[in-house]
Structure 1
Amino acid sequence: MAEVSARYAFALLQSGQAQKEITHNSAIAAIDALLHLAVESRTLAAPPAGATSPASWIVCSVATGAWSGRAGQIAILDAGGWSFVVPRDGCLAYVRDEGVYAVCVGGVWNGAAWPVRALSVNGRTMLAVTPIALAGAAGGTIIDTEARAELAALTSAMRAMGLVAVA
């Protein structure tokens, strides 16, 4: 039987093991820290002064001090001090100081662009293809100025959302 879990290497109970509650409690604490992960920040290089437990951070790429050598890892502060978890691809964290979600892919946390192929809203797939190009309203012998202005505003908004591209 394996001694640790496959993904996050949590210690597993072994038959005949003494003090199983220690192993069990350690695994529960790790699950508690990682389930619906929310971190304080992903821009700190060293542990924040006066940090209180429980809290988590994503260690930035220029880690120093107690976080040295832990870039990209999840730093968890609890009653026992600092512990670190190496995130797996697809690990998702809410970053409180930025108000964004970040996803870890290849050891890099990205909050600007998620690796998704499409967006589905109420079961309807949207934004799954390259935006089509639309030319702005132009030409014609009879111009309805108000309609043309509304069409231009609509086209501009659709471009800003990535629904259409500039022709």
Structure 2
Amino acid sequence: MSETTPRLTLPLLQEGQAQKEALHNEALLLLDGLVGGMVEAVGQTVPPTAPEQGQSWIVGAMPTGDWSGHADEIALWTAGGWRFLRPREGVALRLRTNGLRIERGATGWGSGALAASALTIGGVQLVGPRLSGIANPGGGATIDTEARAALAAVLVTLRTHGLISS
């Protein structure tokens, strides 16, 4: 039997284990810091001097002090000191400074980007997949330069926002 869970590497109780409550409490502390978690900062390498219980950080690439050896892990401060979680792809947290969602991808942490097939609010699709490009207006027997300029501005805006391709 494994000693940890496969996704979050939380400690599992073992048959015949003494003081099971200590291991169970450890797993609860780690879950508390991860599920619906909020981090103070991403990429910090120096542990804070006066963290509050329950606060967490995403450790940077070259950590020092108590965080040494825990690069790219989630550092959670508890009454018993630092606890570390090695995030797996798909773990999502919020960044306290701006409220943005940060997610662990295959190559590292990403911030503020949402992956979706559509944006729907109140049952109404507002944004869907990007459509093919639309050419600027041209040709025709009667040319209205003001209308063409307005249409061109709309097309530039749609391209800038990524709603249509160039």
Q: Give the alignment's TM-score, normalised by structure 1.
A: 0.81
Which residue number corresponds to residue 21 of structure 2? Answer: 21
RMSD of Structure 2 on Structure 1 (CA): 2.5
State whether residues 137 and 152 of structure 1, in contact with CA within 8 Å, keep that contact through their aligned partners in structure 2: yes
* Secondary structure in 2 matching 1:12: coil
Per-residue displacement from partner, 1:37-57 (whole Å, max 9, x unpaired)? 221110311112322221011
Question: Which consecutive residues of structure 1, in runs of 5 or more, have no partner in the other structure?
Answer: none
Q: Which stretches of structure 1, 4 residues or longer, exceed 6 Å deviation after superposition?
A: none
- Give the whole-Å Cα distance in 2 for the aligned partners of 1:69 and 1:18: 29
The 5 Å alignment of 1:47-66 reads 47-66=47-66
Q: Conserved in 2, the CA contact under 8 Å of 1:72 and 1:107?
A: no
Separation (CA, whole Å) in 2 of partners of 1:99 and 1:149? 39
Q: What pairs with 1:143-154 in structure 2 (closer than 5 Å)?
A: 143-154=143-154
Name structure 2 gaps, 5 residues minimum. none
Q: Specify the code of the residue in structure 2 equivalent to 1:84.
A: F
Deviations 1:50-92 (A, max 9, x none): 2222101101123222222222110111111111110011111
Separation in 1 of the partners of 2:102 and 2:43? 12
State the TM-score, normalizing by the size of structure 2: 0.81
Q: How many residues of Structure 1 are paired with residues of Structure 2 in the alignment?
A: 162
Q: Which residue of 2 aligns with 1:2?
A: 2
Structure 2 distance, partners of 1:107, 1:24, is 32
Cα distance, 1:101 vs. partner? 1.9
For 2:162, give the aligned amino acid: G
Q: Aligned in 2, Cα 1:97/1:62: closer, same or farther, shift over 3 Å?
A: farther
